Amino acid sequence: MLAVGTAMAPAQGVAAPFAAYVMDARTGKPVYAQNATTRLHPASLTKMMTLYLAFAAVERGQVRLDSRFTVSSNAAAEPPSKLGLRAGQQIELRYLLRAAAIKSANDAATAIGEGIAGSEEAFAAQMTATAKALGMRNTNFRNANGLTQDGHYSTAEDMSILGRRLFYDFPQYYNLFSRRSADAGVTTVSSTNKRFLDAYPGADGIKTGYTRAAGFNLTASAHRGNKRIVATVFGGTSTAQRNQVMAQLLDAGFGRVPARVREVRPEPPQLLAQKVVRRAQVEPKPIATAPRAERMVLTRSEPPRRASAAASTVRPDQLAAAVAQAIATPAAAATPDPAASVPADARMSLASSARPARRAGTAQAVEPSAVDAAVEMAASAPAAAPSGSIAGGVLQSSARPVPSPRSGSASTASLDETDETASAPIAQPATTAEVAPAAVASAAPVAAAASRVMALASSTAPAPRSDTVILAAMGEGDRGEPEPTELVSRAKSGGTGWGITLGPIKSKTEADKLLMQTVLQGGDAVARAHRSVADTARGWEPRMAGMSRSTAQALCDQMAARANSCSVIQQ
């Protein structure tokens, strides 16, 4: 157990019991404890939790430092210590925070709680819930200022936990507890902890408290080199005796903790404030819950078309027999309708169906004698009435095929001679009408086959594919002039060509501190930004560069909300 001297013993006649707790702030481990878990009146140490919730509300965007709070009659009627606020008065939150932290003003603390939660009772419930989330197991709050009230209590251990959380959770606001004085809007306030801050080397906070029921309380934080100690004293007999006991506790703590230790930062709290979520209750209607009949997809599809009966009844042997009969029939017997020998279904199919393309090489099977016989039959037929056959109109309007060049093969020569023999009667329109229908029907497929053969004979042979592999970018490569390169420039509206400028600040130390606070508040969005502090004619200007425009503007808006001068710049 630490020896803290006779000054630790409370004077006679003081009802408040004494309690003390010393903690290594780097790890959260206890160094010394005396009545540390005894539930006592915390007095104005309560304002530490009031300020903790206010800082959290600012960080999550619920309020801003320049938000104006209206002072209620309840807040204005609080007893001293007080700022002197009037009912109905509007004052910015930043001034209320300064008054509560530095002067320990009760009216300012009540105005903060009512402005954030709507009422002091609701704010006290948030304070208690947050205390449980931070691990303060023996704490319950009934008001925001710490005035004595039934059911309002805490312990030396819990207040030390809260002091450590203020240091780690809100380092950007922690310097408020080390100020000796500040402008509170209404007036300039002085610190109630000024004596201890000036007397103890390394002390930088945190909060004092006093009521008759609680005695003189103090939660203090101090650092020496790599060491930081947080300690709490309950039940001091006077300001001087309390400060003396605190100095002895801190000295003993620095002597016992190791110089180097692995820092264990506290986990983020699970609950900063109670959030009410309202869900709409809608009764389902019977029509919405009734099963819905599924529709058949087939009812929307078009019915399939029925196949033609003619196409299904015509067989290849019937078609071949009709063509053979047309070729073998003499010219004299061609007067009646030649289609009478073909079934009706076959005639309909032949008249309406498209002629299939003949495969390459099938023209070789057409005998020249058959072509000669068909042409001779058509030329010797007597004149007759125009036939209703479709072939007649086709032969009249068709153009003569261009003969292909002579080739050395025997099959090509025979087809060329046949084409010359048949060219004379086909070119005369007067005799075309006299051609027998049977002869025309038999000659048409033969002439088409001959035309396709001639077309194939006149086409050029494809160039042989080269097997040479050309390797690009081998050796010296292309010696020709390089193609011009088009340079495309983009506007600097996005990317990382934006930054911010803060200040100016009077001293470089304050500029470095503001720059570090800005980095901590910006998070991952500005972690890789280039940071610098420029020495200008106006003063020191913290600067951050290498961000996108949206990130720079959002960060600048956040800094402006905290009353920091900020400008977005483009590189």
Please say if the pLDDT value at position 355 is more than 70: no
Pick the last residue of a domain from 229, 256, 283: 256
The least confident of 79-93, 384-398, 451-465 is 384-398
The predicted structure's pLDDT at residue 399: 57
Task: Establish if 396 belongs to a structural domain.
Answer: no
pLDDT digits (tens, 9 = 90+) for 132-141: 999 999 999 9
Please say if the pLDDT value at position 51 is more than 90: yes
Q: Strands of 530-535's sheet, edge to edge? A: 530-535, 540-547, 498-502, 566-570
Task: Establish if 317 belongs to a structural domain.
Answer: no
The predicted structure's pLDDT at residue 157: 98
Question: What share of the chain has pLDDT > 70, as a percent?
Answer: 57
Domain of residue 120, CATH code: 3.40.710.10
Residue ranges making up the domain that contains 532: 498-570
Pick the last residue of a domain from 203, 227, 256: 256
Residue 263 CA to residue 259 CA, distance in Å, equals 11
Number of domains into which the chain is organized:
2
pLDDT digits (tens, 9 = 90+) for 521-562: 777 677 778 888 888 888 888 988 888 888 888 888 888 777
Task: Establish if 98 belongs to a structural domain.
Answer: yes
* DSSP line for 517-531: HHHHHHGGGGTTSEE
Looking at per-residue pLDDT, the higher value among 242 and 386 belongs to 242
Task: Establish if 157 belongs to a structural domain.
Answer: yes
Please say if the pLDDT value at position 155 is more than 80: yes
187-195, long-range: CB < 8 A, 24+ apart: 187/83, 187/84, 189/83, 189/98, 189/99, 189/102, 189/103, 189/105, 190/102, 190/103, 191/102, 191/103, 192/81, 192/102, 192/103, 192/104, 193/218, 193/220, 195/239, 195/243
Pick the last residue of a domain from 256, 284, 310: 256
Domain of residue 559, CATH code: 3.30.70.1070
Question: How large is the average pLDDT for residues 166-178?
Answer: 95
The predicted structure's pLDDT at residue 2: 55
Task: Establish if 301 belongs to a structural domain.
Answer: no
- b/e burial code for range 502-531 (CB count within 10 A of at least 16 → b): bbbbeeeeebebbbebbbeebeeebeebeb
The residues annotated as belonging to the active site are 44, 47, 104
Please say if the pLDDT value at position 453 is more than 50: no
Task: Establish if 106 belongs to a structural domain.
Answer: yes
CB–CB of 101/47 below 8 Å? yes
Looking at per-residue pLDDT, the higher value among 408 and 249 belongs to 249
The predicted structure's pLDDT at residue 502: 87
Task: Establish if 335 belongs to a structural domain.
Answer: no
The predicted structure's pLDDT at residue 537: 80
Looking at per-residue pLDDT, the higher value among 321 and 79 belongs to 79
Question: How large is the average pLDDT for residues 496-501?
Answer: 85
Task: Establish if 550 belongs to a structural domain.
Answer: yes
